[in-house]
Amino acid sequence: MTFFESLLLLLAIAIALLRVSRRLSIPYPTMLAAAGVLLGMLPGAPTIGLDPQMALALFIAPALVDAAYDFPLSDIKRFWRPLFALAVVAVLLTAAAVAWLGYAMAGLPIYAAVALGAIVAPPDAAAATAVLRSVSMPRRSIIVLKGESLLNDATALILFGAALSFHTRDATSGEVALRVLSAAPLGILFGFGMALLARRIMPLFSGTLGGNLLEFVTTFGIWTIAEHLGISPVLCLVAFAMTLARTANLTTPPRMRIHSFAVWSAAVFLLNVLAFLLMGFQARSIVGGMSPDRLKEAAWFAGAVVVCVVVVRMVWAVAYSWLSYRRRRLRGASDPVPVRQSILIGWAGMRGLVTLATAFALPATFPQRDLIVLAAFAVVLATLVIQGLTLGPLVRLLKLEGEDGLRAEINEARATLASKALEQLEGQSGTVVDHWRYSLGARLRAVQAGDDSILKDKHRLGLEAIRHQREMLDEMRRTGRIGSDAFIVIQEELDFTEVSLSSEADRQIEEN
């Protein structure tokens, strides 16, 4: 079976598993990773390896840009304390604890133990985003977890690079320290500069399929250049995407934005599906080269690492909640982190592709490489399966389900926008003005009164009218009164109108 045939078969299996995960209410990363292990162990299963550098760029870079584009800088400013506590402090505490365990329990050299800690410390952006979509969580928790998943990889990869430098001895201690201290700020500056350049270039390709291709080429190119420069590719792409997003709402044509969102959603989802499924396939290559005695010893150590990773994050999450309340009492600071949400955030630390890819990136001569890779895989699989399966029940147990505040936020925004639009219509008259004044006024009154019956009637009648227009449009094409090109244009107009009249739930395309 060729590589293409194997990949096609895996995708077909993955599509079937996505439906199963939806029926069983299981996060799809959990289902795919577990299925990958089982499929990889079958006799005659294809061997599909992952090149670590290619895997990081291919699977992580688009996910980072997609998530960072929708994550406003204002949320980082608003939640900078919990984000710093999770993306930096939690990663460093976890790395230190695992490093001590590797040094004391497995006899790893200090730099190798630090490398192991850096590998297993960061929760994964793709895993967190995918699991978050499958459960109903408080709005604040979702924002903090998404922000953490954007930033924590940078801390871990910088620490991993420093540990690897000590092994390869390609730099002195002073040079390593300089790299560590400069990687983050230089990455942010480079990403900001590339965004300014992209703002000038991308409008030249706006409204074309080449523009969509350019978005992906730019994403992978920036990651690759950042790696060659020795700066943080994670922070570089986060800064790049956030900078572009700040003005995209006013400068991007709506048609291009709708098309671009659809392309990116499908592409990132495809890469996520492949990543989690291929992760499971690596199990055979990890355990295949170990003797039974070595495998038993490594399994005990891997189990200890899994427990250490989970416990350290949970303890720090609860401790930070206590510290935030303590700080409010001492200094009058506001917005402490509730304990229930801290428990939830602590438990939502699924590891994923970053952990596995960095483990495979270790040189063949690295001390006890097989032990480190097995421990990394155990952390990925255990957190995806155990935490992924129990995250939803934990939300319900803590009575946090449905407390997201999204509906109130949407209604407030709609009322504000409608009021602003009505101000612009003051002093004007005419049939068209009356139409818009009624439409906007109905929305404003419905939001203010909490009664959406008027809007429901408007949407119902509008959808019925569009259905009759579609029937007539089909008849006109069937009888030859309209050609295919005109049919497509008018059909698209009806599609956009129908989407605008549909409910939020009907507009979303489910992942599985």
Whether residue 270 is predicted with pLDDT greater than 80 in this model: the reply is yes
Contact of 80 with 90, CB cutoff 8 Å: no
Q: Which residue has the higher pLDDT, 227 or 333?
A: 227
Q: Which residue has the higher pLDDT, 69 or 457?
A: 69
| Identity of residue 341 | Q
Dihedral over Cα of 355, 358, 363, 366: its sign: negative
Mean pLDDT of 425-436: 84
When the candidates are 3.40.930.10, 1.20.1530.20, 3.90.850.10, 3.30.565.10, the CATH number that belongs to 3-397 is 1.20.1530.20
Whether residue 13 is predicted with pLDDT greater than 60 in this model: the reply is yes
Whether residue 313 is predicted with pLDDT greater than 90 in this model: the reply is yes
Interval 178-192: pLDDT, tens: 877 888 899 999 999
Q: In whole angstroms, what is the distance from residue 37 CA to residue 302 CA?
A: 17
pLDDT value at residue 297: 87
Q: Which residue has the higher pLDDT, 287 or 170?
A: 287
pLDDT value at residue 406: 67
Judged on CB neighbours under 10 Å (0-12, 13-18, 19+), 76 is middle
pLDDT band at 330 (very low <50, low <70, confident <90, very high): low
pLDDT value at residue 443: 77
Query: Both tokens of residue 357?
Result: 């890819």
Whether residue 333 is predicted with pLDDT greater than 70 in this model: the reply is no
Interval 63-121: pLDDT, tens: 889 888 888 888 888 888 889 999 999 999 999 999 999 999 988 999 999 999 999 99
pLDDT value at residue 126: 63
Angle, helices 353-360 vs 254-288, to 10°: value is: 50
Q: Read off the DSSP letter of residue 359.
A: H
Lowest mean pLDDT among 50-59, 329-338, 463-472: 329-338
CA of 70: how far to CAs of 78, 132, 184, 329, 490, in Å?
Answer: 16, 15, 21, 34, 31
pLDDT band at 392 (very low <50, low <70, confident <90, very high): confident
Angle, helices 91-105 vs 139-168, to 10°: value is: 50
